[in-house]
Structure formats: C-alpha cells, structure tokens
Chains A and B, each alone.
Chain A
Amino acid sequence: MQQWRPENPAMTSDEVSMERSKGFVMALQELKNLRPQLYSAAEYCENSYLHNEQKQMVLDNLKDYAVQALVNAVDHLGTVAYKLTDLFEQQTLDVSTVGLKISCLNQKILTCQKYTDKEGIRQQRMFTNTARYHKHYILPNSVSRRMQSSPQLQTDVNLIHVQAKPRPHSSGSPASKTLSWHLASETNSASDRAPHAVPSTGNVKAPKITAEVFHLLNAEDTAAPMPLSTHLQSASSNPTSSLGLHSFGIRDPVEPSKPLITFRSFDNPGRLQIYRPPVRSKSLLSAFFAKNKSLKPRKAPVL
C-alpha cells in the first residue's frame, strides 16, 4: 500500500501534477505485479495440497489466502481508479483554464481589429466628403412635365417641381430630420429668394411643400374633397387671403374641370397670381396621403 504523503505547499502546479502522475504510475505498477504473485501463490497451494498429508489445514490456509488476495486486488484497483480519476480531473481543469485563456486572447484580437477598422473608417471620413441624404418627397415625372408645360406656371415657391435627385447637405448637420423641419427650412429659404424662372427637369430642387398644404391634404383625406376646393374657391373669391398655397397640381375630385383661380401668395401678400391647377394623378395623392397619415394628429387645418 502506498503511504499518503502530505503535499508541500511551496510546490508549483507542475510539480503537483508530476507527483500525481507518479503516484498513478506506481499504483498501476503494483497492480500489475499482483498478477505473478497470485499465480505463484496458486502453484504453491496446489503442490502443498498434493504432497502434504494435512490437506484440511492446507485447504483452510488456501481459503484465507484467497480472501486476502481478493481484498488486496480490490484495494489496488480502487487506488488505481482513484488516482486515474484525480489525474483526469486535473487535466480537465487545465484544459478549461487553457480554453479561458484562448477566449481572452480571442477577445483581445477582436478588440484590436475593431479599433483598426474604426481608425480606418475615421481616416477615410476625414479625407472624403460623402454626401448625406435626407428625406425628400418626390413627384412623378409626368406631373412635373405638365406643370412645366403650363403657360401660367409660376417659377417661385408656389410650384412644386419633380426631381429625383436628393439634395445633399453638409456633413456637419444631422442626417435625419423631421418632415416639418424640412418644410420649415424650405419655406424660409424660399421666402428669402426672389421669384425666378421655371427650372428645367434636369435641375435639382426639393418640392415646396408647406405644413398648410399637408393639412389641406389631411382635411381632404379625412372628410371630403370639398375643403380643398372650398379653400381654393375662397382664395379665389378673397384675394386678401393669407393662405400660402403651394400647389401640387391637386385637383378637386368633385369638379373635374376647374376654372382658373387667383390666390395670394404667402411670400408676396400684395400680389395676385393666376394659376391653373393641373390634373391630379392618383399615384401622387396616394403617395402623399400615405406619408401624411403620420402628420394628421398634429395640428388643425389652417384656413
């Protein structure tokens, strides 16, 4: 039987594992040596039983020896099994530790890669001015052409032009802005500008939409088409109206043929302008109504 030795606390982990391995090997060696011992004991008992006259005594000794040998073998096997299990647990622990260290290294490398990617993107941004786009409501080309071909077409902010190109803005400004902000910014920018000629289809211009027109659209969508025509008629009947009409070419659905109306521009209150509203198309309205549903609960229509 192997004597249990208390481990020295000053020993390193490698030395401890070496000691455990040595203990296992020694226990296994002792178990292996048990086999020839049992064989030799069996031969001796057989010869003594055959040649000795006191057979009963030999038999009793043989029984006792067999029991002791069996107990010894069980003890050796238990020792070997325990040492092997202990060694296996130690190895499993070492493997888990190595796994954790590898995960740590992996995370470090991923962090370095992310940092290099970020730095690369930052340097790229410094050298290039990328265009950043914001939302624009775009009218189909057919409507814009009709509007442009109309002889009464005005060239100032009262018209909405169809252009597919978005207008980029400076990189310092935030990319996402609300629709009302765009409307306000475009209204303010248009109010500063003098009226100019109608641009061609190739020019880039954002649609000149005000909140009032959207509210007009909302009123038309929810209740009936009448409010819009009412507004237009009231504007035509009342030139001093302060309503700033920015027409999309929207037409009164009740009256397919609409007469010429006069309205007062929001930007130029002292000036009357004659405008023939073009034919309204379904796709245009559907596009606007679909997008204006989110703006409905905001304000009451402006009259």
Chain B
Amino acid sequence: MSRAGGITNAVNVGIAVQADWENREFISNISLNVRRLFEFLLQFEATTKSKLAALNEKLDILERRLEVLEVQVSTATTNPSVFT
C-alpha cells in the first residue's frame, strides 16, 4: 500500500513537473513576443522621429522661402511705378 502510494506520489510529482515545464515554456514564449513587440515599438518611434524631423526641416525652409516671396511681392505692390 505504501509502495503504491509512493509510486502515485512519484507519478504526481512527475506530472506536476511536466506541467510546470509547460507553463514556464508558455510564459517564456509570451514574454519573448512581448519583448519583440517592445522592440518594434522602439524602432517605430525612432523612425517616426527622424521622419518628422526631416518634415519639420522642410517646412522651415518652405516657410523662409515664403517669407522672402511675401516681402518681394509686397515691395512690388507698393511700387507700381516700376512696372509702368
């Protein structure tokens, strides 16, 4: 009886260990995918930042050119005698 009990305990321990290993594997898979998601987010943030910086620079240049054009047009409109 005691031997049968012992064998049962051993089997139970074995099953528990196997279940524990499965759980751990599942957890490791989940955490690995979460880390991949995190890395994607970091890369996406860096790329978006650089693109936005380039776009901002372009907008600054365009703004300056527009200001120059505005001044030139205002000069031309205030001196219409130049074109007569």
Interface positions of A (Cβ within 8 A of B): 59, 63, 66-67, 70, 73-74, 77, 81, 84, 88, 91-92, 95, 98-99, 102, 105-106, 109, 112, 116
Grouping DSSP codes into helix (H, G, I), strand (E, B) and loop, the A interface class, with mixed when no group exceeds half, is helix
A67 to B51, CA, bound (A): 33
B37 touches A77 (CB 8 A): yes
The count of A-to-B residue pairs whose CB atoms sit within 8 angstroms is: 45
B34 touches A70 (CB 8 A): yes
Interface positions of B (Cβ within 8 A of A): 23, 26, 30, 33-34, 37, 40-41, 44, 48, 51-52, 55, 58-59, 62, 65-66, 69, 72-73, 76, 82-83
A73 touches B51 (CB 8 A): no
B37 touches A99 (CB 8 A): no
Question: Which A residues touch B30, using CB under 8 A?
Answer: 66-67, 70
A105 to B52, CA, bound (A): 26
Question: Which B residues touch A105, using CB under 8 A?
Answer: 69
Closest residue of chain A to B19 (Cβ to Cβ) is A56
B40 touches A77 (CB 8 A): yes
A88 to B50, CA, bound (A): 12
Question: Which A residues touch B26, using CB under 8 A?
Answer: 63
With A74-B37, A84-B48, A109-B72 already in contact, the answer to whether A99 and B23 are too (CB < 8 A) is no
Q: Which of A66, A73, A84, A91 is B55 in contact with, Cβ under 8 Å?
A: A91
13 CB contacts below 8 A, A to B, read A63-B26, A70-B34, A73-B37, A77-B41, A88-B51, A88-B52, A92-B51, A98-B62, A99-B58, A102-B66, A105-B69, A109-B69, A112-B83
Closest residue of chain B to A115 (Cβ to Cβ) is B83
Question: Which B residues touch A81, using CB under 8 A?
Answer: 44
Q: Which of B48, B65, B82 is A106 in contact with, Cβ under 8 Å?
A: B65
With A70-B33, A91-B55, A92-B55 already in contact, the answer to whether A59 and B23 are too (CB < 8 A) is yes
A106 to B41, CA, bound (A): 42
Tell me, rounded to whole Å, the shortest Cβ–Cβ distance linking B47 to chain A. Answer: 9
A102 to B63, CA, bound (A): 10
Closest residue of chain B to A70 (Cβ to Cβ) is B33
Tell me, rounded to whole Å, the shortest Cβ–Cβ distance linking B26 to chain A. Answer: 6
